[in-house]
Structure 1
Amino acid sequence: MPFQSFTDYLLLEKNYSKLTVQAYLSDLESLKDFINNQYGTDSIKDVNYAQIRTWIVSLVESGIANRSINRKTSSLNTYYKFLLKVGDITQNPLSKHKALKTSKKVQIPFSEEEIGTVLDELNFDNSFEGYRNKLIIELFYSTGIRRIELVELKLSSISLNNKTVKVLGKRNKERIVPLLNSVKETLANYLNKRNSLEEIKDSEHLFLTKKGVKIYEMLVYRIINDYFSQASSKVKKSPHILRHSFATHLLNQGADLNAVKELLGHTSLAATQVYTHNSIAELKKVHLKAHPRSKK
């Protein structure tokens, strides 16, 4: 297998998930295909920065976002650092590369009213898909898990008695997240419907399609987008916006930043702090309304 030693390094030493490793390998293959077409060689070990720069320019010209290009070059940089470590190269061609400038994304969370409209007013029928879709939305909003984490949830990850869910996050790091009583009820209803499917081809994973196979990320995105399109006029309606809403609403209600960090599965507070701008806005309102000298 191409890049086998690098793959082993990412999986065994860096403890990256299989999906993350697949993304790294895809980026390496992208450069490999490019230099093969442009320079007649498929050895990316021997490329120089000028050749990589030509590849980067081609990505820009094809309309790929700078943020995505930076991720690809980061994958390459990790690969070249690995080659340096094992002695396959003597110089990293990306050692002086500077990331492309990216615009700061402003993520606007759903309001509590919008989420209330979806969960309390929209129709989720009593079918397998109805219970499944409602459970997906409730889990996103009540736990803040990522889309891929939800897709990969196992039946064994759920403890109805303890009202917890075990989540496998980035770099295979596990965390335990509590379940709300309302989610526990929806979960029990979904499991009854799941057990009644005509055929279950995947007995391990929690979320299935009606054909009995593991649910996939694009379907999860479509479920969120379809339901929230009925309740929100926001441009972006995705699982990540629900995760964003979870964090923002907790912080607005006074939750400790460190606690939210743990629930989200972040490794540093810096990653969690991107969700605080809405909380600051809420605090300003409270401060202005309540402070004795605010009217002076």
Structure 2
Amino acid sequence: MHWKPGRLDVLVTWSRVAMDIIHFGTQLYLTLIDCGLSRFAIWRQLHQQDSASVIKQLQSIFCERGPPTELLTDNGAVFCKKTFADFTQMWGVHIRFRCAHIPSGNGIMERSHRTIKRIAARIKCTILEAVYCHNAIPKDDKTAMAAPVNVKGIDKVMVPNTTVANPYKEKHAVWVKNLRGRCTTQFGTGTVTKINRQHSISVDGTQCYIKDVRLACLRDCVISEKLTSSDDEAPLLYEKPDEESSSEDDAPNDPEQEEFNDAVDAGTTEKTPEPLPLRLSTRMKRPAQHSHLCDLEIRKACAEHVRKCTSV
């Protein structure tokens, strides 16, 4: 099954900013990159991986460059705490969490990490110098204005994608893939609790990518479109056919038995009809197998009986 691919980049500079926490050597860094056309990267060193340290660095960044419209992060414990949610609400920033165990959900940030680490390894410089080279080098290697540090804001308004390719709805019973299991691991069951985005849904409160989810009943795809809003809450029932009736219908028809049943139903018989005679089985009967020792004893008994009869 092929899903319609989405896009992480936007048309407005400093509108959507991807954020992550990464190790480089023995140091811990808070990394940010603009998902707009600038691809401007910011790395700040962290002494501890907690919400207080992240909030302190973000507050200094927001005071310097202004708050973005939204932050794209993973489902780390640092970003899911209430103190961090209160901080972003105070600045008017919307948090967007990517699906669990899907690194491609923050692909711009992952590619930025690889590029900056490669620069630091090739020219043998510090990580902060590698970030400066990443921001100062033009993308086309020609025009200075093509460098991320020189890209200005764009006047175009970001056009939201109104196409919907998400086949799931709330209260749908689904099968969820175990991403930490093997290919033979059985899917788990769950219920869709929320439709997050075009390619993401929440199953029992956990965000999942739609390619890792399957409908528990394929009839939901067709029937849910035909139901009205009042019928959405009604459960979908499946009546199992009676095994006895199906087995009787599938049995071959016997002409004598049908004639007997018709006579009984019509009441034309004056007395109770006699049941049909039993039929002998047509199965081939094989002779019993005897051991060699048993055959010898039978032969001896037969020979002794013949001897007695001839002697008389």
Q: Which has the higher strand share?
A: 2
Q: Which has the higher contact order (CA 8 A, sep 6+)?
A: 1
- TM-score, normalization by structure 1: 0.22
- TM-score, normalization by structure 2: 0.21
Q: Which has the higher helix share?
A: 1
